[in-house]
């Protein structure tokens, strides 16, 4: 398994593409190794099947240019912060050894999202403790690892962001990756089965909201499209202040 620069955790396949899709596209384009670990297969989804979600996740991964993606197979609607589930997450963290981790939002409309955030943050802490022993897929003992930076991506409930990533240059790629999940989001090429209802995220108006929010946060940093994040353990130290502030703020 390759080590990663950035690892994103998600309660469901498509959470990252929906909320941080532009950011992961941009990171991959910049040459960073990026991966996603999905906790569930979306078994309770009103549209599509778990198998479809896996196929859609594979297509989205190719579009983004991910270095790795896996699914922990936890139960949708039942993402409990148990020691057993923590161990699954710890094993992934120690396997990929990312410098930066992206997480579900701490508060969201869907209970799975905040539950996944709680599970992730606890596991990230425990992953750094040497007394917690885990092994990799080949049975080799894993060394402790704790990422250097942890950020929450924004979901249905807004928060005051610590930073906004300018994703203007990869916006079309980001939308293509999101629409790979045709069973979940508005895609004119997808024909739902008669028993598949329209959902909160499958209608065209939701897709317009995604675009509108990206434009709103992009505007705050002088970009066309932006994705907001909350830094979990602030403040963070810098040694290259001009480098950190290299993005000019057009409106000040």
Q: What tens digit of pLDDT does each residue of 183-195 get?
A: 888 888 888 888 8
The answer to whether the predicted template modeling score (pTM) of the entire model surpasses 0.75 is: yes
Two structure tokens written together for 132: 């917690």
Instruction: Decide if 144 contacts 121 (C-beta within 8 A).
Output: no
Two structure tokens written together for 251: 């409106």
Give all domains of the chain, ordered by start, each with its CATH number: 6-244 (3.40.50.10320)
Between the CA atoms of 209, 212, 217 and 220, what dihedral angle is there, to the nearest 10 degrees? -150
Q: What tens digit of pLDDT does each residue of 126-168 get?
A: 999 999 999 999 999 999 999 999 999 999 999 999 999 999 9
Strand bridging mode 163-166 / 226-231: antiparallel
Residue partners of 3: CB distance under 8 A and separation at least 6: 33, 96, 97, 98
pLDDT digits (tens), the chain, 252 positions:
679 999 999 999 999 999 999 999 999 999 999 999 999 998 988 787 899 999 999 999 999 999 999 999 999 999 999 999 999 999 999 999 999 999 999 999 999 999 999 999 999 999 999 999 999 999 999 999 999 999 999 999 999 999 999 999 999 999 999 999 998 888 888 888 888 888 888 888 998 999 999 999 999 999 999 999 999 988 888 999 998 888 877 765
Q: What tens digit of pLDDT does each residue of 112-133 get?
A: 999 999 999 999 999 999 999 9
CA distances to 44, 57, 112, 176 from 192, rounded to whole Å, are 16, 18, 24, 19
**pLDDT value, residue 1:** 65
- In terms of Cα–Cα distance, which of 41, 107, 47, 40 is closest to 79? 40
CA distances to 12, 85, 86, 120, 122 from 81, rounded to whole Å, are 16, 6, 7, 8, 8
């Amino acid at each position: 398994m390759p080590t990663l620069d950035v690892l994103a955790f998600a309660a469901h396949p498509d959470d990252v593409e929906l909320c941080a899709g532009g950011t992961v596209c941009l990171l991959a384009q910049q040459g960073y190794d990026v991966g996603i670990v999905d906790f569930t297969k979306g078994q309770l989804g009103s549209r599509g099947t778990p198998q479809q979600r896996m196929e859609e996740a594979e297509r989205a991964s190719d579009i983004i240019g991910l270095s790795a993606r896996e699914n922990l197979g936890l139960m949708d609607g039942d993402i409990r912060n148990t020691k057993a589930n923590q161990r699954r997450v710890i094993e992934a963290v120690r396997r990929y050894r990312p410098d930066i981790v992206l997480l579900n939002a701490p508060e969201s409309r869907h209970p799975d999202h905040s539950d996944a955030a709680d599970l992730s943050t606890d596991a990230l802490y425990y992953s750094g403790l040497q007394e917690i022993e885990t092994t990799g897929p080949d049975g080799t003992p894993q060394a402790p690892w704790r990422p250097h930076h942890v950020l929450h991506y924004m979901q249905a409930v807004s928060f005051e962001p610590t930073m906004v990533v300018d994703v203007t240059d990869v916006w079309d790629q980001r939308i293509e990756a999101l629409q790979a999940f045709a069973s979940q989001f508005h895609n004119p090429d997808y024909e739902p089965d008669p028993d598949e209802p329209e959902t909160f995220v499958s209608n065209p108006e939701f897709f317009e909201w995604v675009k509108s929010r990206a434009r709103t946060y992009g505007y705050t940093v002088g970009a066309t499209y932006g994705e907001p994040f909350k830094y979990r353990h602030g403040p963070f130290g810098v040694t290259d202040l001009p480098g950190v502030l290299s993005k000019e703020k057009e409106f000040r």
